Amino acid sequence: MRHALDETDRRIAAALVASPRASWREVARCLGLSERTVVRRVALLYADGTLRATVVRNPARFPHLVPVALRIRCRPNKIRQVARALARRTDTVWVDVLGGGDEISAVFFLEGPEARTNLLLRDLPATDAVGSWTAHTLLRVFPTAFRWSAGLLSPRELAELAPDPGPPTTPAASYAHLDVDTALIAALAEDGRATYTDLARRAGTTALTARRRLEAFVEGQVLRLATELDLALLGAQTEALLWIAVQPGALQKTAQSLGIHPHVRFCAATTGPANLVVAVAAANLDALYTFLTDTVGPLDGVTAIDTTPLLATVKRTGLIRH
């Protein structure tokens, strides 16, 4: 994994964060580069693990999934051990170490109510290093926040690569999962840029069917394509989670307003006293301060905010950090 990128690599990486399966030709045309330059550079970025492509399921399209965000208080001398153990679980999507080094934030996609009960009443209480926790069920995720590009793409470039997602093309109740879908999703989670031929081989189907199913997944917002990398490589040196209390009548408007801000990478309405969780990636602490005072501060519906800086990321979009 790289420790630094030049300006061209950073813009290519930002383009792939915005549009994870964009063709090399599309990236080259959008950024004003030659296709040969893009091919040469992205091959190296993926080969050394600087960029990794994957997918994340939309729990709203999988009724059996229970999406939960946990804030877990741990003994500081055991926190990395607990974070790594959580990251190894197949049902965790994000695992971050927060604040003063005694708290973990983790997002779980739990396989039904029984799995949630087992986690909260059996697994966590049985872990000696865990002192306490709060659980927040994710009620709605706002997809506009996924168009983050670290400010490296112009509005025109961002619109060309990642148009506004808009509403899903198929209502959730109408979406039908085929037998091949489980294998396709598993293959995409391992490599979000796998060719349709490779996906077809993994799923035991044809390349045409694999392509049609993937397009249906994306258009129906069943899956979110994702490019994972260390955000500091794109100039985002400061990351934080904001746990915001919003008046219920203002929740939708507040979430939509924050979700389109260039610093916001994730925005979801939750249960609990803090009913909105927002992940922010900014250039530095001053930029985070400005976001809090100039963007969050003027919002009428916000009644309280708890800002927790990220100290370390252990797992993101289902991928363990090396």
10 Å Cβ neighbour count for 213? 22
142 vs 86 pLDDT, higher one: 86
Residue with tokens 């961002």: 158
For residue 179, the model assigns a pLDDT of: 75
For residue 199, the model assigns a pLDDT of: 96
Under 8 Å CB-to-CB from 74, ≥6 apart: which residues?
Answer: 82, 102, 103, 104, 129, 130, 131
74 vs 1 pLDDT, higher one: 74
Say which DSSP state 78 is in.
G
- Residues 284-314 pLDDT 10s: 999 999 999 999 999 999 999 999 999 999 9
Q: Which tokens belong to 106?
A: 């983790």
Could you tell me whether strands 319-320 and 276-282 are parallel, antiparallel, or unpaired per DSSP bridges? unpaired
Q: Which tokens belong to 259?
A: 């979700």
3-state SS, residue 262: coil
Task: Using alpha carbons, select from 302, 312, 311, 249 the residue that is nearest to residue 278.
Answer: 302
- Residue 312 gets the label, from left (phi > 0), alpha (psi -120 to 50) or beta, of beta
Cβ atoms 241, 278 nearer than 8 A: yes
Under 8 Å CB-to-CB from 190, ≥6 apart: which residues?
Answer: 54
Average pLDDT over residues 117-131: 95
For residue 271, the model assigns a pLDDT of: 96
The CA-CA-CA angle for residues 235, 141, 27, to 5°, reads: 45
- In whole angstroms, what is the distance from residue 173 CA to residue 188 CA? 23
Task: Using alpha carbons, select from 279, 270, 278 the residue that is nearest to residue 136.
Answer: 270
Region of poorest pLDDT, from 157-166, 169-178, 181-190, 250-259: 169-178
Average pLDDT over residues 177-190: 88
Residue 136 has pLDDT above 90, yes or no: yes
Torsion sign, CA atoms 261, 265, 271, 274: negative
Residue 278 has pLDDT above 60, yes or no: yes
Predicted TM-score (pTM) of this structure: 0.91
For residue 38, the model assigns a pLDDT of: 97
- Residue 143: pLDDT band (50, 70, 90) is confident
Task: Report helix angle 181-190 to 207-219, nearest 10.
Answer: 80
- In whole angstroms, what is the distance from residue 205 CA to residue 130 CA? 45
- The mean pLDDT of the chain is 92
Phi, psi of 168 (to 5 degrees): -65, 150
In single-letter form, the type of residue at position 254 comes to T
Average pLDDT over residues 238-245: 97
- Residues 168-177 pLDDT 10s: 655 555 556 7
Average pLDDT over residues 217-240: 93
Residue 225 has pLDDT above 70, yes or no: yes
